[in-house]
């Protein structure tokens, strides 16, 4: 096929409304050559709009395909990790809770054991740790919320009560911040901040000392690394 033949095909395809990319796939010619050959054959505004819309559809279809692949991959990782990690022993759960408290818990007030977070899963785990591992009776645990002025207080209390399976009577009066949740960029404040609180000086001292034991032991190991 001569160059003239290729050019005639390119022009014909262009007249049918095909883009440079579409033509390139069919006749394997450079975009610069096509640009020179087809400069007198511009596409209509309607056709350009249709091509652009079609391209967005392809992009979205590709994005959805990749999202499904990632979800499938994460599901396989989840299954693998679940098999590898669970169930945790009582000692492992104790340690998991100590590390969580080390990072997120109140360490300043001696007689108060408390931890708050915006993530319901973190608070649910903390509740299990307090009840099943630390052996604190359910009626000794108080729930407190930090909410924003544009939030439905009653609705949020009901959300956390259902999430934690805790009676509303176990909730202290929530603290309402003057700022609005809608003004925040973080996605983690959908239901405000929830905290669990227990008053027990002896238990708090033991938690802090357990954390210190771990910190001291592995702090000495730094020189060996």
Q: Are 110 and 201 in contact (CB under 8 A)?
A: yes
Give the model's pLDDT for residue 34: 86
pLDDT, residue 181, reads 78
- Cβ distance 170 to 143 under 8 Å? yes
Sheet holding 175-177, edge to edge: 112-117, 193-199, 142-148, 175-177
Q: Count the neighbouring beta carbons within 10 Å of the beta carbon of residue 116.
A: 20
Residues near 62 by beta carbon (within 8 Å), at least 6 away in sequence = none
Kindly provide the residue ranges of all beta strands, DSSP E only, lying in 118-171, ordered along the sequence. Answer: 142-148
Q: What is the pLDDT of residue 172?
A: 97
pLDDT of 183: 72
Does the bond joining 134 to the residue before it have cis omega, within 30 degrees of 0? no
Burial (CB count <10 Å: 0-12, 13-18, 19+), residue 186: exposed
- pLDDT tens for the chain, 225 residues long, are 788 888 888 889 888 888 888 888 888 888 888 888 888 888 888 888 877 777 676 766 777 888 899 999 999 999 999 999 999 999 999 999 999 999 999 999 999 999 999 999 999 999 999 999 999 999 999 999 999 999 999 999 999 999 999 999 999 999 999 888 777 656 566 899 999 999 999 999 999 999 999 999 998 876 665
Q: What is the pTM of this model?
A: 0.72
- In order, the DSSP letters of 1-17 are --HHHHHHHHHHHHHTT
As a residue count, the chain comes to 225
At residue 186, the pLDDT reads 60
Q: What are phi and psi of 15, to 5 degrees?
A: -65, -25
pLDDT value, residue 188: 60
Q: What CA–CA distance (Å, rounded) separates 74 from 79?
A: 9
């Amino acid at each position: 096929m001569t160059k003239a033949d290729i050019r005639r095909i390119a022009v014909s395809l262009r007249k049918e409304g095909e883009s440079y990319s579409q033509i390139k796939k069919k006749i394997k010619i450079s975009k610069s050559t096509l640009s020179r050959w087809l400069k007198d054959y511009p596409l209509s505004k309607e056709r350009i709009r249709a091509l652009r819309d079609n391209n967005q559809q392809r992009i979205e279809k590709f994005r959805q395909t990749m999202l499904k692949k990632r979800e499938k991959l994460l599901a396989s990782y989840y299954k693998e990790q679940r098999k590898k990690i669970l169930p945790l022993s009582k000692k492992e759960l104790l340690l998991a809770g100590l590390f969580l408290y080390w990072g997120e818990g109140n360490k300043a007030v001696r007689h108060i054991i408390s931890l708050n977070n915006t993530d319901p899963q973190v608070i649910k785990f903390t509740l299990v740790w307090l009840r099943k591992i630390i052996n604190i009776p359910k009626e000794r645990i108080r729930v407190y919320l930090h909410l924003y002025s544009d939030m439905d207080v009653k609705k949020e209390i009901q959300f956390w009560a259902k999430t934690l399976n805790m009676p509303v009577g176990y909730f202290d009066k929530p603290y309402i911040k003057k700022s609005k949740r809608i003004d925040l960029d973080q996605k983690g404040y959908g239901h405000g901040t929830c905290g669990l609180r227990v008053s027990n000086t002896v238990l708090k001292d033991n938690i802090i000392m357990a954390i210190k034991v771990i910190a001291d032991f592995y702090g000495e190991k730094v020189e060996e690394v």
